[in-house]
A = this chain, B = another copy of it.
């Protein structure tokens, strides 16, 4: 029983994980014997399983049941997988084609990316909006809606768009507003919020009001990273047998609706590239203890980025998840880089 993780034991572990991921049913020694040619009897496999259980790679729901992988088992599996994770080229081609078909709008791209990942991994996928470290003012526009109300449209770096209604104490004409906009654009274009507030200008009361609003929105934008990510395919995730009980399902829905967990789950601006996998109990957040995340940052390192990933039960197809997330983050990075280059 000593000898450590021999190749056959490793193979048994891999088989158990593969089977369990596919079927959600505890895996029996007999089934392994029948379906895989290991060249040894069920009894031997049982011995190996006893070892794996002792070492904490697998566990049993009850005394006389097959085995299911533990977090540690999944972790081992994921590590051993690390290299061999590319989507089949036909799949890559199909995805690329989908992106060509959709109109050139960033939000569409994000939604599409999330939808594709959800479909590939058959669980929920999410994508956050790409955000620069500190956004810069590209352009300000003021449109009169009626005498006292104007629509302010703000174009920030990375084509982020903001709008807000402004109401003035005095009546304002479109000419006046255009004048404001020109003046402020000339002075503040391409600056970030701190640079703008440092640079004092002589402004009328109304101009100042506009400026305050602009600053407010830019600061708010700098602060929230994960504001309203796109979440797709929740129903795919909830269709998995682990969420069969009603209250389990509802608590997951609640979790997703509040999106509080995002903050704790996605480390903020972690600089490392590549796909990260967080398995079950490895999560900081209590409520995520039996869920796994596979995600990656995307964007232009050091300049702008977002996060993209999937969330699902610990019994998740990590192989597919890793390859999908890896490939999609590459695609989105390319797209962001394309938009960025003009900066």
Contacts and interface: CB of A to CB of B under 8 A. Distances in A.
A44 interface: no
Nearest to A162: B105
A246 interface: yes
Given A103-B164, A104-B164, A249-B249, 8 more contacts: A139-B143, A141-B153, A147-B342, A159-B165, A238-B249, A239-B250, A246-B246, A246-B249
Contacts of A165: 104-106, 159, 339
Contact of A167 (B104, B145, B167): B104
Interface string A202-233: 00000000000000000000000000000000
Contact of A235 (B141, B155, B253): B253
A145 B246 contact: no
Identical copies in the complex: 2
Contacts of A151: 155, 159
Contacts of A342: 144-147, 149
A341 interface: yes
Contacts of A238: 249-250, 253
A161 interface: yes
Contacts of A341: 146
Interface string A88-106: 0000000000000001111
A272 interface: no
